[in-house]
Copies of this chain bind each other. A is one copy, B any other.
Amino acid sequence: MQARLIELATLVADSIEDASKAFNESDITLAERVIAGDRVIDGATATLDELAIDILARQQPVARDLRLVVSALRMSASLERMGDMAGHIAQLARYRFPEKVARKSLRPHFHELGELTVKMARQLVRLLETNNLSIAAEIQQEDDKVDALREAVLERMLGEKWKGEPMDTVDATLASRYYERFADHAVKIAKRVEYLSDGEWVRPQDEPEV
C-alpha cells in the first residue's frame, strides 16, 4: 500500500509540474497531457482504495495496522484532489491559449506558486518513502509561503495599479485558490504521516477486545 501511495504521489507531482509549466508558458500540449492524465490519477486512486478495503475485509487489521489502512484511504482522497487541482490549472491554461493566463504583474507570483507546490509534491513523495518527519515540517513551512503568495495575488488585484480585465481577475482568483488547495492537501497528508508516527489513534482504553 505504501508503494501504491508513492506511485500516486509521484503522478501528482509530475502533474502539478506540467500544469504549472503549461500555465506559465501557455503550453497547450502539456495542458492537454495533464488534463488527460487526471484519469490515470483517478484510476490509481480507485485501485489503492480497493486494495485498502480488501485488506480491511480479508485481514481485519487492528491497532496500528488499522490506522495505516484508514490513513491510506484518506491520503488517497487528498492525492486525488491534488490531481484535480493540477487539472484545473491546466484547464485555465488551455482555455486561454495562446494567451497566458496571468497578467504580467502576477507572473512572478504564479511562477513561484508553481515552484513551491512542485517542491511540496516532491517532498511528499520523499516523506512517504522515508517517513522522515523533518520533511513533514518542511512541507508545512512551504505551505505558509503558498498562503502568503495567494494573499499577495489577491492584494495586487485589489490594488489601484491593477488594470486586469474581469477575466484576468476571475482566472487569477481561481488559479491561486487551486494552488492553495493543492498545498493544503499536501499538508494534510504530511500531518497524517506525523500522526501515524507519533500519535495514538486508537486510544489504549479503546484497543480492540479481540
Nearest CB in chain B: distance from A78 CB, A:
10
Give the complex CA separation of A133 and B151 in angstroms: 43
Asked if A201 CB lies within 8 Å of chain B CBs, one says: yes
- Are A166 and B167 in touch, CB under 8 angstroms? no
Given contacts A158-B167, A173-B169, A174-B177, contact A57 B53 (CB under 8 A): no
Given contacts A58-B208, A169-B173, A173-B169, contact A202 B53 (CB under 8 A): yes
Asked if A198 CB lies within 8 Å of chain B CBs, one says: no
For chain A, which range describes its interface: under 10, 10 to 19, 20 to 34, or 35 or more residues? 20 to 34
Q: Which residues of B contact A74 (CB under 8 A)?
A: 77
Give the complex CA separation of A88 and B202 in angstroms: 32
A interface, by DSSP: helix, strand, loop or mixed?
A: helix
Asked if A73 CB lies within 8 Å of chain B CBs, one says: yes
Give the complex CA separation of A60 and B209 in angstroms: 11
Asked if A116 CB lies within 8 Å of chain B CBs, one says: no
What mask results when residues 137 to 160 of chain A are scored 1 for a CB within 8 Å of chain B, else 0? 000000000000000001001100
Q: Which residues of B contact A209 (CB under 8 A)?
A: 58
Give the complex CA separation of A167 and B156 in angstroms: 11
Nearest CB in chain B: distance from A59 CB, A:
9
Q: Which residues of B contact A166 (CB under 8 A)?
A: 157-158, 162, 164, 169
Asked if A6 CB lies within 8 Å of chain B CBs, one says: no
Chain A residues within 8 Å of B, Cβ to Cβ? 53-54, 56-58, 60, 62-63, 66-67, 70, 73-74, 77, 154, 157-158, 162, 164, 166-167, 169-170, 173-174, 177, 201-202, 206-210
Apart from A56-B70, A57-B208, what are 14 other A-B pairs with CB-CB below 8 Å? A57-B66, A57-B202, A60-B210, A70-B73, A74-B77, A154-B170, A157-B170, A158-B170, A162-B166, A164-B166, A169-B169, A170-B173, A173-B174, A174-B177
What are 6 pairs between A and B in contact, CB < 8 Å? A53-B67, A53-B202, A57-B206, A58-B208, A58-B210, A173-B173
